[in-house]
Structure 1
Amino acid sequence: MRTFSRPGVSLTGLATALCGALALSAAPAQADSASDAAAAQIAACKPAQPCAHPLPVKVVIVSLFEIGADEGDTAGEFQLWKERRGLTMRIPFPQSFHDLYYNPETQVLAMVTGVGTAKSSAATMALGLDPRFDLAHSYWIVAGIAGIDPHDATIGSVAFARYAVDGDLAHEIDPREIPKDWKYGYFPRGTQGPNDTTTKVEPSGELFTINPSLERWAFNLTKTITLPDRPEIAKERLTFTGYPNAQKPPVVMEGDTLSAMTFWHGKRMTDWANDWVKYWTKGKGEFVTSAMEDTGVMQAMTYLDAAGRADRDRVLVIRAGSNFTMPPPGTDAASYLLRENEGYAGLEAAVENVYTVGSAVVDELLAHWDKYETTTP
């Protein structure tokens, strides 16, 4: 069970004190000066209201959920970023799920959207339209955990998505009522069933393409990173006999993601996911990870780009496998799903590895910001 929290200390009273301190201070240290100035700057503006001096943001880290507290307990997707990237400045964000955290020295901002496409889309849109932030040149890195297809890789592996495909927009009838020649009871809108291969349907929210040059640049930058192996994931993957990629240690790879509000599981559902991604990408994509938020983020970014508030071509989607999308041979889907609900075998490895890979991208962007500010890789 996932639980969520919004801990932290409000900036309202702190910023008032900082404003006075700034007027009296003679020569604060560079980092303290940056922090004080940013605190005063953001405190002068109310959430979603006009702001004369918005905070500059170089990188937005998009986390989707956290477990318990933001620090000091079992880490979800957000915690390592907060602790290791110096994201100590809490910024109230009442129009969304979780407050924002910022490092005024590096100008990295992190958010937690909440689970599902509805929350991720709303949170991304809320941030993009908030005048307190200058997002004109920002890079957005969606960094989260996911189910992973054992045909392609093992848990702990990190995949850069080339495509984000939506799994919710569809027609559906109960599988117990499908015609005998139908493989699934779930099929694309506008078609005459899953066997209809002649009706041409153009994507309308079902498919989002990640900027190919940015995705390839980030993958090439990180593909040689050696991800640590762990006893718990080694034990789990050995049960996947007949799936050679699942039995290998974790790797950095390219692989596409399917977003759906339903946490689905099983071999038949994994077969459906592979077919669904191939259908919408016209055979160019390969289903590797199952998630719940990426198409929501990409839809919001598409609208924000059209409004001139953010750059859709500066979005990366990175997912690390925390669990398999189907059970190993000899285990039924229901039993395996219920066991996974008690704790993903690869959660710790996935959280650590997606941070390691994503952090390498952030480090490169910050180290050469003079180039990347105006030129997208």
Structure 2
Amino acid sequence: MVTRTVGALTALALAACTAISPLANAQDDNFAQGNGESHGRPVKVMIISMFGPEGQVWLDKLGPWQDIPVAGLSPDYPNIHCNRQDICVMTTGMGHTNAAASTMALAFSSRFDLRHTYFMVAGIAGIDPIQGTVGSAAWAKYLVDFGIQWEIDGREIPPGWNTGYLGINTKSPSEKPPLDYRTEVFQLNTRLADTAFALSRHVVLADNMDAQNARAKYSYAPANRPPTVIQCDTLAGDTWWSGTKLGERARDWTKILTDNKGVYCTTQQEDNSTYEALKRAASVHRVDLNRVAVLRAGSDFDRPYDGQTSADNLLNYAAQGGFSIALENLYRAGNPLVQDIVSHWGEWRNGVPQR
């Protein structure tokens, strides 16, 4: 259940991105091309956003930028934006298909040397009120695909089942599937996730009155408390959903696929496909999978409060006030990692430092 306001906000963000180009054109060509080696422009940190407003929060704060076009990116977001600190921002387009195609185009482009690059996926998401609240920013250790399941119509499930979902080629909802697709679950570098959390855990996050009012309708913590930086895992699926029963399945599915090691807390559309694209590039030594971090900020609750319907929670998600603060909190929670990497590159170049 990923909150995406794709009307006027996205149009404004696209216009803002376009407005950067004259500034970029005034920059020295060497800025775009890096050191001129055959591997392309070196990048220390690549921030991966999925739609305009997610990328714009970085573009507004870390410029000036050089626009670098890359063949195969989304026609809505055809450029990678890079600054003089070797921080770059890309926007993939929303959903599994766009994320995979754009990330693959970047990873195999000759314009960049990504062999030592740290990738930070930074996007908004629905959030489980048992683990966080609107505005919370969550660093993940596991990426779980919610879409790769069998589904039986919920009105026709067998007696004794609590859901119509089950793993492909299994016999019950509680059985772990054989993982034949090889993209059902990924584990991220724990040291990187822990370092990112340690650098950001005490950051003061943005908040607003609408979000506070939405939280107050939940009778339990942390749903009804201010947002904080947390650690828990993220679930990908192109279906934007809302509901207590679906939320329970999300929790159970995460535990099944991670052998009870993962804890579900955010739901989005892209991260398994983004990671798989990077994995393909890593197989030919173009990127290092130990340098991938995933940050998701809660823009809306994935299930209703007591007395609210799931339909009302979904149809009126914008009233929760989480959209703008989730975007801001991506920057507040993610920037400490970004700045630590570029400011202490000697420590980070050969891998995540031990601290």
Q: What is the TM-score of this pair, normalised by structure 2?
A: 0.89
What is the match of residue 317 of structure 1?
294
* Higher deviation after alignment, 273-282 or 200-209: 200-209
* Cα shift at 1:301: 1.3
Alignment of 1:1-377 (within 5 A): 1-3=5-7, 4=10, 6-7=14-15, 8=18, 35-39=28-32, 41=33, 52=38, 54-66=40-52, 76-97=53-74, 98-195=77-174, 197=175, 201-202=178-179, 204-241=182-219, 243-340=220-317, 342=318, 345-377=321-353
Q: Deviations over 1:163-221 (max 9, x none)?
A: 010011111121112112221111111201315x4x66246211010101111111111
Q: Which aligned segments of 4 or more residues in structure 1 are displaced greater than 6 angstroms?
A: 9-12
* Cα shift at 1:152: 1.1
Q: Given that residues 68 and 82 in structure 2 are in contact (C-alpha distance below 8 angstroms), is that contact kept between their aligned partners in structure 1?
A: no
Question: C-alpha separation between the residues in 2 aligned to 1:343 and 1:89?
Answer: 36
* Cα shift at 1:11: 7.2
Q: Given that residues 122 and 294 in structure 2 are in contact (C-alpha distance below 8 angstroms), is that contact kept between their aligned partners in structure 1?
A: yes
Secondary structure in 1 matching 2:143 = strand
Question: C-alpha separation between the residues in 2 aligned to 1:255 and 1:103?
Answer: 30
Question: C-alpha separation between the residues in 2 aligned to 1:272 and 1:295?
Answer: 18
Secondary structure in 1 matching 2:54 = coil
Secondary structure in 2 matching 1:77 = helix
Secondary structure in 1 matching 2:351 = coil
RMSD between aligned residues:
2.2
Question: C-alpha separation between the residues in 1 aligned to 2:217 and 2:42?
Answer: 48
Secondary structure in 2 matching 1:143 = strand
Unaligned runs of 5+ residues in structure 1 are: 19-31, 45-50, 67-75
* Cα shift at 1:94: 4.1
* Cα shift at 1:52: 3.8
Secondary structure in 2 matching 1:84 = coil
Q: Deviations over 1:49-98 (max 9, x none)?
A: xx8461111110000112xxxxxxxxx21111111111521122341211
Q: Deviations over 1:100-156 (max 9, x none)?
A: 343341111111111111111111111000011010100000011110101111110
Secondary structure in 1 matching 2:346 = helix
Secondary structure in 1 matching 2:340 = helix
- The verdict on how the C-alpha distance between 1:132 and 1:121 changes in structure 2, with shifts beyond 3 A counting, is same
Unaligned runs of 5+ residues in structure 2 are: none
* Cα shift at 1:230: 2.2
AA partner of residue 100 (structure 1): N
AA partner of residue 143 (structure 1): A
Q: Which has the larger radius of gyration?
A: 1
How many equivalent residue pairs? 338
Q: Given that residues 167 and 177 in structure 2 are in contact (C-alpha distance below 8 angstroms), is that contact kept between their aligned partners in structure 1?
A: no
* Higher deviation after alignment, 98-107 or 264-273: 98-107
Question: C-alpha separation between the residues in 2 aligned to 1:90 and 1:140?
Answer: 18
Secondary structure in 2 matching 1:364 = helix
* Cα shift at 1:339: 0.9
Question: C-alpha separation between the residues in 1 aligned to 2:148 and 2:165?
Answer: 10
Q: Given that residues 113 and 119 in structure 1 are in contact (C-alpha distance below 8 angstroms), is that contact kept between their aligned partners in structure 2?
A: yes
Q: What is the TM-score of this pair, normalised by structure 1?
A: 0.84
AA partner of residue 283 (structure 1): N
Question: C-alpha separation between the residues in 2 aligned to 1:372 and 1:230?
Answer: 36
AA partner of residue 150 (structure 2): H
Question: C-alpha separation between the residues in 1 aligned to 2:198 and 2:301?
Answer: 25
Question: C-alpha separation between the residues in 2 aligned to 1:137 and 1:38?
Answer: 18
* Cα shift at 1:344: 5.2
* Cα shift at 1:249: 0.8
Question: C-alpha separation between the residues in 2 aligned to 1:293 and 1:87?
Answer: 28
Q: Given that residues 100 and 109 in structure 1 are in contact (C-alpha distance below 8 angstroms), is that contact kept between their aligned partners in structure 2?
A: no
Question: C-alpha separation between the residues in 2 aligned to 1:151 and 1:363?
Answer: 31
Q: Given that residues 62 and 83 in structure 2 are in contact (C-alpha distance below 8 angstroms), is that contact kept between their aligned partners in structure 1?
A: no
Question: C-alpha separation between the residues in 2 aligned to 1:261 and 1:294?
Answer: 11
